[in-house]
Structure 1
Amino acid sequence: MRPRNFGVRVHDQQKATEGFTLYSPLWGQQANLMNMNGEIVHQWELPGYPGGYARLLPNGNLFYAASTDDGPPFKGGAKGGLIREVDWNNNVVMEYRDDWQHHDVRKLPNDNILYAGWEMMPEETAGKVKGGVPGTELPEGIVSDFVKEVTPQGQVVWEWHAHSDMDVEKYEMHPLCPRRVFAWCNTTFPLDNGDVLISLRQINLVAIIDRETKKFKWERHDDNWGHQHDCQMLPNGNIMLFANGMNTLAPHPCSFITEFDPDTNETIWEYRDDPSTYFYSHHISGAERLPSGNTLICEGSFGRLFEVTPEKEIVWEFINPEFADTFFGETANWIFRAFRYTPDSSEIGGRV
């Protein structure tokens, strides 16, 4: 249902985490920094649609990917291609281009760039892909994912390829997923030791890639997640992710946030709405654990950002009022991810 009220709808000043929220409407061409009242206090114009989000760096610069016209032989949401770091006044500090980049891109502490990309899967390997909807391959074949770390000058210093570093036959695609892409990486979360935590949407899998062997040193598959997004390792060592809840056996589609211990898979914390169907985004979306212990949630396909306490009380809520045309032939106010920065953070640094 299209929302009827936009902007900030809830703000508990005693319980909400004070700060500024950065979001990039997926079908707009800007990154917005807003205060707790929903007022835009700073804005950066982007040269294309976000691919799929922007974030502030510790030096206060904006880091993002924007869509380019070239790339894979299909239209996919959160496609980027142009990776940039810009200063507060939108002056370009660094630029790198890979037209097949999509979904996630990170600036590493060593100034290198970690990102997910697509590539055509070799025909021999494509023949081993199991599952998915029969006959939905692209005319060109099947696209698969890679993850690369490159220097700001574009030198590749590390790379991982799904078609060669995974046992493709072991991981069957969900039967309702088109076979055009295996396995649709939507998150590349760098770990302190150089390993990478990834989310593979089409096979309902999160895994840690060993930097040295390029094999999975840990993995978990759960069809109940329903094509999850935004897996991340928290400072306490737990993993948190946005479980979209699409194509599951649940009686009613719903999303949830789950935090679990990767050693035992025990659920440590979870957020669901009541009734559960009041919280549902079948794609995109994410969550961020805030310094206060609260969690900022992005219900992407509804354009809704909201903050909950550990006790699951909603203490801040915003709905994006900006609707724009999509390449699906409809309008949407989608947001891929959002981030909250406290006033005393280095990212804000007294600039607003």
Structure 2
Amino acid sequence: MPSHHAMNAMRIALPTLLALALALDPALALVGVGVGVARADCPADLSGDQQVDAGDLAVVLSSWGTAVGDVTGDGTTNAKDLASILGAWGACPAAPIEWTLLTATNGTATNAIDSTGAIVRSWTGAAGGTSVGYLRSDGSLVRPTVHAAGTFSGPARGGRIQIFSPTGTLTNDLLVSTSEFQQHHDVRPMPNGNILCIVWEAHTLAEAQAAGRQTITTEFWPDSILEIQPTGTTTYNIVWRWNMWDHLIQDVNPALANYGVVADHPELIDINLGLVSGGNWSHCNSIDYDPVRDEILFSSRAFSEVLVIDHSTTTAEAATHAGGARGRGGDILYRWGNPGNYGRSTATNRFLYFVHGATWIDEGMPGAGNILMFNNGDRDGTVNDYSSVYEIVPPRDGKGNYSIAATNAYAPSAPAWTYGAPGQIYGGPIQCGAFRTLDGTTLITLNNTARTFEVNSAGTVIWDRANTGLTIARAPRYRMVNGVWVGP
């Protein structure tokens, strides 16, 4: 903090500096000092005219000690802001090229829009999207879509992944749909060019009952995760696989498979959770990959949970309880939102009531390594529903493993950041979501009201769009940085 003498000197100097600003631009004396909207990449441009000049200097000097001329974000206009103005003097850098992707689930288009809402690129798929279209770093698009001829039929059924070149040409048309499995909801491109897919995996009624499922009258479709490697226009290899079926537990019948004490095994999933509707059970709806930790994050609507598994295993290890970088095979490394699923609920530790859109916050973004999710908030009853976006800090020990006490639920006991309160937003019980942006803001989509909007860390809405006539599950934003597209 500056000394008392330094602060007195600064106060004495302010009139002189303000006079200097007027000398640099005499027009300020006539029009007064104004504050516009500064771009995130040019925060010293307080007047919003794409120049850091005498007008911005005048704003800082005339609002000293208040928040009006705050450039650095500490809430006060002070010497740091003055230094920022002088250091950034001149024209702002060219505005970055940014695209927000809108993939319609009720139409065949994925559109890229700019900050004004204008469509700058459009791709046309074979059918409606199942969730989100993703832009790769080279500008190619990966778009999951409906395969109506597939064997499986359930919420957000897909079965077809189309890949478009940076110029918009369809290069791959992959049917991820057999009698054994079918893609649904979300996919996620990986840095190595492969694609992670959520798929239903078919098991018979008899198999489900032998595995310990009690209430069931149909087939049983627990989710699996495939990593596919495109090899041709219509061909691919499955290079890695994880099956939820291999990580189940039940505490009802010791004569059946998977018997154990549910509360002693948070790394396993209770086969008797929830309902089975036409085969659909776990209803996983989003997937993301962390290349730093080599881990996969996914969300389950049916379980009201977000879950993490290890991707460093082989497929064989992923079917067991050992192996991989964490030594746990394909067991659940971490889960959060509904501890009652593993017998450790209290009156206050449930946070999720249906969940969609779980994502890692990537390196280089505020909150890197944390988890962002959309809590639909479809609570019991009809009068207390509201949605929230949560950011949580997963509990990791010094070795990077997820820590949990013997009888407690996984931490944290509360989100690190929340947007959404009673009466503020409600997305309904369907696909919605949120993505963190490179500017540290959060882009939120409410499917039921066709709205995508952006909030800053204080929860102030700074951009708002009506997706009239479209059903949009989530909307990621990408920025061109040094010739490559960067996004969530």
TM-score by length of 1: 0.82
1:342 to 479, 483, 487: 479
**Contact 1:284–1:336 (Cα < 8 Å) also in 2:** yes
**Contact 1:60–1:346 (Cα < 8 Å) also in 2:** no
Cross-structure match for 2:432: 285
2:464 to 317, 335, 352: 317
Could you tell me how far apart the structure 2 residues matched to 1:162 and 1:184 are? Answer: 12
Identity over aligned pairs, percent: 23
Could you tell me how far apart the structure 2 residues matched to 1:338 and 1:345 are? Answer: 23
Cross-structure match for 1:150: 228
2:124 to 45, 48, 51: 45
Q: What is the CA distance between 1:172 and its match in structure 2?
A: 4.2
Q: What is the CA distance between 1:341 and its match in structure 2?
A: 2.0
The residue type paired with residue 272 of structure 1 is G
Deviations 1:84-131 (A, max 9, x none): 22124321223322121111112211111111111212434422336x
Could you tell me how far apart the structure 1 residues matched to 2:453 and 2:131 are? Answer: 19
TM-score by length of 2: 0.60
1:110 to 183, 192, 201: 192
**Contact 1:22–1:32 (Cα < 8 Å) also in 2:** yes
Deviations 1:19-56 (A, max 9, x none): 32110121010001112222212211111111222121
**Contact 2:377–2:426 (Cα < 8 Å) also in 1:** no
Q: Which runs of 5+ in 2 are unaligned?
A: 1-35, 42-95, 252-269, 314-328, 339-349, 396-410
Q: Which runs of 5+ in 1 are unaligned?
A: 1-11, 323-332
1:203 to 280, 303, 306: 303
2:336 to 220, 229, 248: 220
Q: What is the CA distance between 1:165 and its match in structure 2?
A: 2.8
Matched, 1:90 2:172: no
**Contact 1:72–1:118 (Cα < 8 Å) also in 2:** no
Could you tell me how far apart the structure 2 residues matched to 1:343 and 1:89 are? Answer: 15
Shift in CA distance, 302/34, structure 1 to aligned 2, threshold 3 Å: same
Could you tell me how far apart the structure 2 residues matched to 1:158 and 1:275 are? Answer: 44
Could you tell me how far apart the structure 2 residues matched to 1:145 and 1:274 are? Answer: 32
> SS at 1:301's partner residue?
coil
Q: What is the CA distance between 1:14 and its match in structure 2?
A: 3.7
2:137 to 49, 58, 63: 58
Could you tell me how far apart the structure 1 residues matched to 2:272 and 2:378 are? Answer: 17
Q: What is the CA distance between 1:173 and its match in structure 2?
A: 3.0
Q: What is the CA distance between 1:345 and its match in structure 2?
A: 6.7
Could you tell me how far apart the structure 2 residues matched to 1:13 and 1:48 are? Answer: 40
Could you tell me how far apart the structure 2 residues matched to 1:302 and 1:125 are? Answer: 41
Q: What is the CA distance between 1:242 and its match in structure 2?
A: 0.5
Higher strand share: 1
**Contact 2:140–2:165 (Cα < 8 Å) also in 1:** yes
The residue type paired with residue 245 of structure 2 is H
Cross-structure match for 2:387: 255
Could you tell me how far apart the structure 2 residues matched to 1:301 and 1:250 are? Answer: 16
Deviations 1:154-194 (A, max 9, x none): 2222111122233366254346x746312111122112233
Could you tell me how far apart the structure 2 residues matched to 1:204 and 1:164 are? Answer: 20
1:28 to 107, 132, 135: 107
1:194 to 287, 290, 294: 294
Q: What is the CA distance between 1:347 and its match in structure 2?
A: 5.3
Higher helix share: 2
> SS at 1:164's partner residue?
helix
Q: What is the CA distance between 1:346 and its match in structure 2?
A: 4.3
